[in-house]
Structure 1
Amino acid sequence: MRSTVSAIKCEEAYMNVYEVEAEQNMRSARFERILAPPWLEALLSTAFFSVCGAHRDAPRSECNMYCLDCHGGAFCFYCRSSRHKDHLVIQIRRSSYHDVVRVAEIQKALDISEVQTYVINSARVLFLNERPQPRTAVKGGPHVCEICGRSLLDPFRYCSLGCKLVGIKKNGDANFILSAKNEKGVVGSREGIMARRILSSKQQELEEDEEDEELREGIIKQADHGKEMYQSTFRPPHSTSSRRRKGIPHRAPLGP
């Protein structure tokens, strides 16, 4: 009888501990959703720049785009046109084999304050995740990333979006959610978002068409230049020269 009661008490205690842990996990998940959007972790764990299986033979088949509405994985330029036409899509780029995103794109969806930005190829970008540091790197400088210890400029706390997310989970004193003021100024209303998405999609398609047109014009000009060079250097085998060779000189006849 006593053993049965003890077993019941142990089971109840175990259930209580399990319920407390489950409740804490739910609160933690809810807390993280408040401080960061649900698609951010999926973005940071996504592998980019693989070849798209559906458009393997196309010239722009690398998967370097991510949809913030679907957050289902990386996709290529052609998948965007067919599946994510009116969605909020960002393009991931590479810098020294590390993934970066342009500030102009990501700041429409995230509060990127306290994350250091960099200027690469005349564009301001920030890194998605922490970058490995060489063994000779000196940590513990006056201003370093609070998570990985990378040297930073004075006003920043994190070197990447990933480090800021870790800091949010650890300390809870920062967030990625745009404030009402910033959201109104940067993102706007839902109708404004949709209008900007459509405009941005059309603008990108126009820019890409212009790039393709410039590429085609360059090819045509190059072909025409080659044709002109070919025409200028090629001479028919039976053509006569405009210059005539001088004849054999003859002495003038002597006078009487």
Structure 2
Amino acid sequence: MVGLTIRLKKKKPEWLELLLKSKFFGPCFDHQDLKKNEMNVYCVNCNQCVCQHCLSSSAHYLHVLLQIRRYVYNDVVRLHDMQKHLDCSKVQPYTINGAKVVFLNPRPQSKPSKSTSGVSCLACERGLTEPNCFCSIACKVSISMAKQNSRRDQSPPYLTFPIPEFSDLSAKQNQNLEPNLKEDESSNLTTESSEENNHQISWFNSALKPMRQLHKRKSTPRRAPLF
């Protein structure tokens, strides 16, 4: 079955969180009477710890499984197996029986250790070798999630524009129309008043104009007849 590749681009997957919180190498409750019943396998599909006897049943057939091992009294997993499901770059690897492994959780320490190269874990400040930046998978996950949260918080908020209500919009439109109506009314009033004034002025001028005296021309004078 194809593995679940996680690049930590989104929130931490549930199976990874349960894997880091699980306690391994305890006795299996379903197979207490059998030998080698320690739970040293994690089923990704079921999100639980199982033992070797649980794998013999058909319940975990074709499931994604991770073999958990112990190194310096801490839980480790093979780098090759974990790399199929999680990006383990920059995580400090260690060699056990010719195989490279990585720690699931940081090892306890009383004070930050120092390394000859001057490189330390970004989460717990444990000394590392270049070019690694994390001592365990849990440290890398914590730093990666912190960076994602900081980027999300620093992202600019979406610009929102308030939508005016219908009543407000109609009121504003009426307000915008009122000046135009007033201007039209004032223009009509001015034209009417100007016409009326012109009519009065023309009548006044005609009234003041002196009337021309009409002199009737005399007719041809008639002479008295001669006797």
Shared fold (TM-score greater than 0.5)?
yes
**Aligned pairs, number:** 142
Question: In structure 1, how many angstroms separate the alpha carbons of the residues matched to 2:78 and 2:124?
Answer: 22
Runs (4+) off by over 6 Å: none
* TM-superposed deviation, 1:35: 5.2
| Alpha carbons 2:43, 2:60 under 8 Å: kept | yes
Matched, 1:74 2:58: no
Question: In structure 2, how many angstroms separate the alpha carbons of the residues matched to 1:136 and 1:150?
Answer: 5
- 5+ residue gaps in structure 2? 1-7, 150-227
Question: In structure 1, how many angstroms separate the alpha carbons of the residues matched to 2:115 and 2:94?
Answer: 20
Question: In structure 1, how many angstroms separate the alpha carbons of the residues matched to 2:129 and 2:117?
Answer: 11
Query: Could you give the per-residue CA deviations for residues 162-202 of structure 1, whole angstroms, max 9, x where no partner exists?
Result: 001110121239xxxxxxxxxxxxxxxxxxxxxxxxxxxxx
**1:122 pairs with one of 95, 98, 104:** 98
Identity across matched positions, percent: 41
| Alpha carbons 2:45, 2:64 under 8 Å: kept | yes
Question: In structure 1, how many angstroms separate the alpha carbons of the residues matched to 2:137 and 2:112?
Answer: 24
SS of 1:156's equivalent in the other structure is coil
- 5+ residue gaps in structure 1? 1-31, 174-256
| Alpha carbons 2:112, 2:125 under 8 Å: kept | no
Question: In structure 2, how many angstroms separate the alpha carbons of the residues matched to 1:137 and 1:34?
Answer: 32
* Matching of residues 87-236 of structure 1 within 5 Å: 87-135=63-111, 137-138=113-114, 142-172=118-148
SS of 1:39's equivalent in the other structure is helix
Paired position in structure 2 for 1:244: none
Question: In structure 2, how many angstroms separate the alpha carbons of the residues matched to 1:119 and 1:126?
Answer: 9
| Alpha carbons 2:113, 2:125 under 8 Å: kept | no
Question: In structure 1, how many angstroms separate the alpha carbons of the residues matched to 2:146 and 2:10?
Answer: 14
| Alpha carbons 1:35, 1:168 under 8 Å: kept | no
- Relative to structure 1, the CA distance from residue 155 to residue 137 in structure 2 (aligned partners, 3 Å threshold; closer, same or farther) is closer
Paired amino acid for 2:129: L
Structure possessing the higher radius of gyration over alpha carbons: 2
Paired position in structure 2 for 1:43: 19
Q: What is the aligned-residue RMSD (CA, Å)? A: 2.4
Question: In structure 2, how many angstroms separate the alpha carbons of the residues matched to 1:48 and 1:136?
Answer: 26
Paired amino acid for 1:124: K
Query: Could you give the per-residue CA deviations for residues 47-95 of structure 1, whole angstroms, max 9, x where no partner exists?
Result: 1111011111222200011011121x21101112212121010111111
Paired amino acid for 1:89: L
Q: TM-score, normalised by structure 1?
A: 0.51
Question: In structure 2, how many angstroms separate the alpha carbons of the residues matched to 1:69 and 1:84?
Answer: 8
Question: In structure 1, how many angstroms separate the alpha carbons of the residues matched to 2:54 and 2:31?
Answer: 8
| Alpha carbons 1:103, 1:125 under 8 Å: kept | yes
Structure whose residues are more often helix by fraction? 1
* TM-superposed deviation, 1:140: 11
Question: In structure 1, how many angstroms separate the alpha carbons of the residues matched to 2:89 and 2:127?
Answer: 17
Query: Could you give the per-residue CA deviations for residues 13-35 of structure 1, whole angstroms, max 9, x where no partner exists?
Result: xxxxxxxxxxxxxxxxxxx7725
* TM-superposed deviation, 1:141: 6.5
